[in-house]
Structure 1
Amino acid sequence: MVAVEDVEIEVKTKALLALPVVVALAACGPTASLPPGSPVAGTTPQASAATPPPTQATQTAPVGRAAASPAVASPSPSPAAPTRPVGATYGVLVDVLTSPTHYYANEVGIDGRVWASMVLDKRTPISSLSGHPIDLPHVSTSLTALYVLNGDSAVVSLRVPDGKQTLASHLQVGPNMEAAFSVSPDDARIAVSVLDFGRSPVHVTLYTESINGSNHQVIFESDSNYVWPVAWHSGLLVLAHAYGPFEEDVAKAAPGLDNPYSAVSYHIVDPVTASRVVLMGSCTVSGPLSPAGSGCIQGGTIDWAGNTAPWRTTDWGTVSSAAAVSPDGRWVAAAPPTNPKVMAIYATSGNVYTYLDGPGLRDWAGWLDDQTILTGSYTDPNWTPQVANVIRGGIVNDVVGPHGFYAARLPTDIV
């Protein structure tokens, strides 16, 4: 591993010692079994909105586009570095398409400005005669920090708002293994799933521990139920469940490609025993997780109690679309089946409230608050991410420089 002193972190005023991750900060600029029940593969909690949206949704003209904001990936030194706005919200874009050896984690503000851009090592490629090993999630967010995977096992944290970077954890990953992790909102605990592709069938081990590595406990192991942690909710652990450990397994259900976790359902489990408390599996989940639950393919939502609510007003037939439900549960962003090149904002009635340019059916948006979305792309390396207030209305801010898909909100709103 590269020594801490060997890596430089650039800021507007000075160079800081850092870990083996390059970051440009922009100024102003275990053993148990899951309970019985096969997963298949709505909105209870409410988040407050800055301005109450209209009670009656009506179709409107598309949101307008703003002039491109200046790129800020590599700022030059200046006399002072402005402090980030208190209570600011960011979206995390992850780009795995640009480089064969590195991936990029970009922190984007609500105005489209890039506040941090991290260059990280990808996992060591694994060869298997059974298929292409799944590319597990790379990042996690807490109430105070962004956590990113560097290489196979190093978890690095980037704090908000001071930009302090530290080596937060080291995952127990050996040869031919791959891991995914989720840090609790209070930064106290970490849950980790390790997939061992050196065994046949592939073996998954789920463990939890304190963020400092103490209190290590294996809570679940399996050769057939493939789960990995993606969030913590109300003190419980949220596990993404996939059809299998290979990309070919995920492709059997195309909707598995419609969220950042390759999930078809979620198991909400006790973080000590792995006993399941809730199964979010009565629809095929879609889009990133939300305080309201999750979107479903073909126009529905599912809440944290596992209850679904249909939103569609037309027959989607065989078409499915990545759908993202807003934090307050009042809106869903998804490409309509008749026009996959736009991102429509659906009201609970199923009517389209407004729309803007979209990356396609397979790509999801992320809600930064009850009104604002960030659109990225998992499939198109040339798609320019956008930030737009789609409820109050206003301009669309292009995110200049970074590409990638929406992976998480910072700070997390899943608590």
Structure 2
Amino acid sequence: MSGRYGVVITGLIGPALQASSYTVALVGADGRTAASATAARVLIGPEISTVSASASRLYFLDGPSRLRSLTPDGASAMVRDFAVGPGERVAFAVSPDDLRIAVAVIDVAAPTNSVRVYVEDLGGGGHRDLLTSQTRVMWPVGWRGSQLVLGTREDRCPVCDTFYFPSGYVVVDSSTGSTLFEVCTGGAEQDLTRNATPAGVLCVKNRGTQDRLTVDTVVAGWDGSERVVPMSCWAQGGSLSPNGELIADIEYPPCRQGHLRLLDRSGRSAAPPGFPEDGWPGGWIDDRHLVYRATNYRLMVVDIVTAKVSPVEAEGTFVASLPPNL
């Protein structure tokens, strides 16, 4: 496989929320669709993904238990079926080399949403139970070598849009399930977590007291470091570039409502002449190509060097890139 692709899926916003099926598409930096497939819709939660990208293909759920794959050349295949009981849903992450899969079985019917996480060979076998939880919803979102990255669901900001991201990340040993460290979990009320990249995770942290809101936009590194990005308005809708150098963000009051901005690590504008004025950042195909939702709700790709804008042929929501940015 050559090139990088964005992953766009339907069923997260608008009328498609009520559809019985959803579409997954691989789109290039020119906005054109390289491959697409349709599957039976799965109801889990807006922040829990039903897709996972490896270095070579996209994996997606077809109904509650069937796993399929899609390659950029359009080849689609059935991979396996999961053992799923009544009221259970699965979330998963395939390793970049297509050899292993981490699976979370979430009991959505239980009052506490109990979870068990295990790892297997992608084709079956090599089963290893990693962890269980009755109090914390966790699910696999990606791999970093032998480490497994889990997303968490926390209600720090019930009125905030989850933007299709977890509330925080827990990194565990993929052999033992032991927690190695956590990134952007816990925290104060109104804290937000945005996207995870090889360079770290974009977080919005309220460091103020009960009577005063003091918010920092932070890039939290996988090594435990924190880098504050000075911003006049924090990155509530921000998206960190894969190399960690840029933040694309939509402004909210008291800044200019709806303004699409591009900031460097010092908080200064990095937008080239002709950069779109308004829009909602969705994510990055690579360090140069940003996907955003325009004011007419269509997805667009902008080249952050030339400011060239290309419409995305596929409709839906940008949720990932292939190969994965983690």
> Taking structure 1 as the reference length, what is the TM-score of the superposition?
0.68
| CA–CA distance in structure 1, aligned partners of residues 283 and 124 of structure 2 | 31
* Residue in structure 1 matching 2:144, options 233, 237, 252: 233
Q: Does 1:153 align with 2:65?
A: yes
Deviations 1:38-63 (CA, angstroms, capped at 9, x unpaired): xxxxxxxxxxxxxxxxxxxxxxxxxx
Q: Per-residue deviation at 1:250?
A: 7.5
Aligned to 1:50: none
| CA–CA distance in structure 1, aligned partners of residues 126 and 175 of structure 2 | 11
Aligned to 2:317: 405
SS of equivalent residue, structure 1 residue 299 = strand
Q: Does 1:302 align with 2:234?
A: no
Q: Per-residue deviation at 1:376?
A: 4.2
- Which structure has the larger Rg over C-alpha atoms? 1
Aligned to 2:101: 190
Q: Does 1:252 align with 2:158?
A: yes
SS of equivalent residue, structure 1 residue 252 = coil
Q: Per-residue deviation at 1:163?
A: 2.9
| CA–CA distance in structure 1, aligned partners of residues 156 and 293 of structure 2 | 21
Q: Per-residue deviation at 1:202?
A: 2.3
| CA–CA distance in structure 2, aligned partners of residues 173 and 389 of structure 1 | 42
**337-346 or 214-223, which deviates more:** 337-346
Q: Where in structure 2 are the equivalents of 1:11-410 lying within 5 Å?
A: 87-96=2-11, 97=13, 98=16, 99-123=18-42, 134-135=45-46, 136-160=48-72, 162-243=73-154, 249=155, 252=158, 254=160, 257-258=162-163, 260-261=164-165, 263-281=166-184, 284=191, 286-297=193-204, 299-314=217-232, 316=234, 321-337=236-252, 338-354=255-271, 355-360=275-280, 364-376=281-293, 383-390=297-304, 392-400=305-313, 402-410=314-322
Q: Per-residue deviation at 1:222?
A: 1.0
| CA–CA distance in structure 2, aligned partners of residues 376 and 229 of structure 1 | 27
SS of equivalent residue, structure 1 residue 195 = strand
Report if aligned partners of 1:103, 1:120 keep a CA contact under 8 Å in 2.
yes
User: What is the RMSD of the two structures over their aligned residues, measured on CA atoms?
Assistant: 2.3
Percent identical among aligned pairs is: 28
Q: Per-residue deviation at 1:342?
A: 2.6
Deviations 1:201-253 (CA, angstroms, capped at 9, x unpaired): 3211111100011111221111101100000012200000112xxxxx57626
Structure 1 unmatched ranges of 5 or more: 1-85, 126-132, 244-248
Deviations 1:261-316 (CA, angstroms, capped at 9, x unpaired): 3x121001001221111211267553332121221235321121232211123254
| CA–CA distance in structure 1, aligned partners of residues 146 and 233 of structure 2 | 38
SS of equivalent residue, structure 1 residue 339 = coil
The 1:323–1:101 alpha-carbon spacing in structure 2 relative to 1, beyond 3 Å, is same
| CA–CA distance in structure 2, aligned partners of residues 251 and 103 of structure 1 | 28
**Equivalent residue letter for 1:396:** V
The 1:404–1:339 alpha-carbon spacing in structure 2 relative to 1, beyond 3 Å, is farther
**Equivalent residue letter for 2:268:** N
| CA–CA distance in structure 2, aligned partners of residues 350 and 396 of structure 1 | 23
SS of equivalent residue, structure 2 residue 276 = strand
**Equivalent residue letter for 1:181:** F
| CA–CA distance in structure 2, aligned partners of residues 367 and 395 of structure 1 | 15
Q: How many residues align?
A: 301
> Taking structure 2 as the reference length, what is the TM-score of the superposition?
0.85
Structure with higher strand content: 2
The 1:359–1:100 alpha-carbon spacing in structure 2 relative to 1, beyond 3 Å, is farther
The 1:211–1:250 alpha-carbon spacing in structure 2 relative to 1, beyond 3 Å, is farther
**Equivalent residue letter for 1:113:** R
SS of equivalent residue, structure 1 residue 333 = strand
Report if aligned partners of 1:281, 1:306 keep a CA contact under 8 Å in 2.
no
Larger RCO of the pair (alpha carbons < 8 Å, separation 6+): 1
**Equivalent residue letter for 1:311:** V
| CA–CA distance in structure 2, aligned partners of residues 144 and 276 of structure 1 | 28
Report if aligned partners of 2:237, 2:250 keep a CA contact under 8 Å in 1.
yes
Q: Per-residue deviation at 1:153?
A: 1.0
Report if aligned partners of 1:286, 1:322 keep a CA contact under 8 Å in 2.
no
Q: Per-residue deviation at 1:413?
A: 3.3
